[in-house]
Structure 1
Amino acid sequence: MFDTEKINELISLYVIPWSINIVTALLIFIIGRIVISILIGILGKVMGRTKLDSILIEFTQTIAKVLLLIFVIVAALDQLGVNTTSLIAVLGAAGLAIGLALQGSLQNFAAGFLLLVLRPFKAGDYVEAAGTAGMVEKISIFSTILRTPDNKEVTVPNGSIYSDNIVNYSARDTRRVDMVFGISYGDDLKKAKEVMMAALTSDERVLEDPAPNVAVSALADSSVNFIVRPWVKTEDYWPVYWDMTEKIKVELEANGMSIPFPQRDLHIFNEKA
């Protein structure tokens, strides 16, 4: 025969309290998940109204979700009587060990976070950073993908980018094209300047403001050098550079001027014995 009194005592001492604790822990976990989803949704909407990158918004939501979920799990375990103080200490030690093991990755992560917040460049910009240059294809939290002019894909760690100088060639609407042309010492300087300026002003891509500049820059060993500096829209930089290099050479030669190149005179002496 079962001892009814002992069974009732066991039920009252263990079964009922544990049942209540388990149900309460499950309610904490379920309700916590629902609240987390609501809070993450609100966070996404608030951040979506800003100019922050979508990658940064998604990443922030993920981090917030993980942290809140850990808090809910700890609260549920505490309801079950688990020593959460020791658990938190273990998680902290594990986090420290993981952090030391992934020090390089954490550096890239921090740099990626700053790149997404400060936005020194965006997708589509042509940049020079970390010893390479190319168009930005994608910015992720750990690395940035660049596409070089010869269509190579380069994955650059964000830590390397942020620790180096970043040159963004697409940041401004206009750029100055810097070119140098040399003419012979016997050529007419004034006429050469007029020919170069006429070549610049005849091109619709050359901006009137700021005005293009043509000036003598150096009296070199073999030539008189001119600096030729038109301002253009950023997307027209290379087309204008290439076209002007050809056009100015052709125009100078058509007007009787030559572009000299370094030469040496060789004198041979024939000594008789």
Structure 2
Amino acid sequence: MESVLNWLNENSGLILHYGIQAVIALVIFLLGGRIAKFCANLTEKAFDKKKVDKAVGSFVSSIVFAIVFMATVLMALSQIGIETTSFIAILGAAGLAVGLALQGSLSNFASGVLIILLRPFKSGDYVEAGNKAGTIKKIEIFSTELRTPDNKVIIMPNSKIMSDAIVNYSRESTRRIDLVIRVDYDADLRKAKEVLKSILDSESRILKDPAYNVSVSELAESSVNFIVRPWVESADYWPTYWSLLEEIKIIFDEQGINIPAPQMDVHLRKQD
């Protein structure tokens, strides 16, 4: 017991020094944990404000927490005299090995971050991406969930989405319907054009501005082709599209305007 007391007396300065360092390290650790939580909560609130999917906000906030907390641990270890350079080197080597093993996942992660930052679409948008089309239901950090009109769920890697063109059909409030209507060469073109215009004028979902366009676009092999291009609200696109096709066929039949099927005339010549 006496030897212990003697050792304490002889090393009291050293014990006091390391005790103070340990207390400071503990304070750094506790304070850093609070700062990490604060930064994570702040990140999640920022994503909520931007109306980004909650799963994405939660994931990114957890990454922020891990980065800040790891920096805090390294600072605390450095404060008590532990050399952190080799520790950082080990972490770097381990991170490189994991990165090489998970190249595909990291590519999806990077693409997910780009989707969050660039926001080419949001939940509820109808898009065409990666040769697939559907309504965006969930944006996650590694993949995006789409739902097709026939209620199929598509889980698409984010890297595939960002590596190809993205067509967002919901971003703009209006869309143009593009129809090609064929009429017989024997038909009265002026009458056919007036009938098409009257059909468009009677459809309440078609916008007045921009004005629609009805024009002859092609003298094809077996028909004269009209382009019919009215503008509608994006939500009314498909109902109006289907309604116009049905109305054009019915009224053309009533007016005696024939819509020809593709055909070919064969001329036979008799030779002696």
TM-score if structure 2 supplies the norm length? 0.87
Q: Structure 1 residue 154: deviation in Å?
A: 0.3
**Does the CA contact (< 8 Å) of 2:178 and 2:228 recur in 1?**
yes
User: What CA distance in whole angstroms lies between the structure 1 residues aligned with 2:118 and 2:158?
Assistant: 13
Gap regions ≥5 residues in structure 1: none
The within-5 A match list for 1:119-130 is 119-130=119-130
| Aligned positions, number | 270
SS in 2 for 1:112: helix
SS in 2 for 1:96: helix
User: What CA distance in whole angstroms lies between the structure 2 residues aligned with 1:9 and 1:21?
Assistant: 19
Q: Are 1:51 and 2:44 counterparts?
A: no
Match of 2:218 in 1: 218
Q: Are 1:245 and 2:245 counterparts?
A: yes
**Does the CA contact (< 8 Å) of 1:53 and 1:117 recur in 2?**
no
Question: Which moved further from structure 2: 187-196 or 69-78?
Answer: 69-78
User: What CA distance in whole angstroms lies between the structure 1 residues aligned with 2:53 and 2:261?
Assistant: 54
Match of 1:156 in 2: 156
SS in 1 for 2:258: coil
The amino acid of 1:85's aligned partner reads T
User: What CA distance in whole angstroms lies between the structure 1 residues aligned with 2:171 and 2:29?
Assistant: 48
User: What CA distance in whole angstroms lies between the structure 2 residues aligned with 1:228 and 1:5?
Assistant: 100
Match of 1:145 in 2: 145
**Does the CA contact (< 8 Å) of 1:112 and 1:158 recur in 2?**
yes
Q: Structure 1 residue 14: deviation in Å?
A: 7.3
User: What CA distance in whole angstroms lies between the structure 2 residues aligned with 1:106 and 1:176?
Assistant: 39
Q: Structure 1 residue 36: deviation in Å?
A: 3.0
Compared CA separation, residues 121 and 68, structure 1 to 2 (3 A): same
Q: Structure 1 residue 216: deviation in Å?
A: 1.1
User: What CA distance in whole angstroms lies between the structure 1 residues aligned with 2:114 and 2:5?
Assistant: 67
Q: Are 1:188 and 2:188 counterparts?
A: yes
The amino acid of 1:125's aligned partner reads D
Match of 1:94 in 2: 94
The CA deviation string for residues 160-208 of structure 1, in whole angstroms up to 9 with x for no partner, is: 1111000011111111111111111111110111111101110100111
**Does the CA contact (< 8 Å) of 1:52 and 1:117 recur in 2?**
no
**Does the CA contact (< 8 Å) of 2:145 and 2:154 recur in 1?**
yes
Q: Structure 1 residue 264: deviation in Å?
A: 4.9
**Does the CA contact (< 8 Å) of 1:52 and 1:116 recur in 2?**
no
The amino acid of 2:117's aligned partner reads V
User: What CA distance in whole angstroms lies between the structure 2 residues aligned with 1:119 and 1:64?
Assistant: 20
Q: Structure 1 residue 140: deviation in Å?
A: 1.0
Compared CA separation, residues 20 and 243, structure 1 to 2 (3 A): same
Question: Which moved further from structure 2: 197-206 or 224-233?
Answer: 224-233
Q: Structure 1 residue 17: deviation in Å?
A: 5.6
Compared CA separation, residues 4 and 231, structure 1 to 2 (3 A): closer
User: What CA distance in whole angstroms lies between the structure 2 residues aligned with 1:48 and 1:267?
Assistant: 71
SS in 2 for 1:155: strand
**Does the CA contact (< 8 Å) of 2:53 and 2:138 recur in 1?**
no
The within-5 A match list for 1:1-273 is 3=3, 6-8=6-8, 12=12, 19-42=19-42, 47=46, 51=50, 53=52, 55=54, 57-264=57-264
**Does the CA contact (< 8 Å) of 2:53 and 2:140 recur in 1?**
no
Identity between Structure 1 and Structure 2 (%): 49
User: What CA distance in whole angstroms lies between the structure 1 residues aligned with 2:182 and 2:221?
Assistant: 11
**Does the CA contact (< 8 Å) of 1:121 and 1:168 recur in 2?**
yes
Compared CA separation, residues 182 and 85, structure 1 to 2 (3 A): same
The amino acid of 2:52's aligned partner reads D
User: What CA distance in whole angstroms lies between the structure 1 residues aligned with 2:164 and 2:171?
Assistant: 17
Q: Structure 1 residue 261: deviation in Å?
A: 1.1
Q: Structure 1 residue 104: deviation in Å?
A: 1.3
The amino acid of 1:232's aligned partner reads V
Gap regions ≥5 residues in structure 2: none
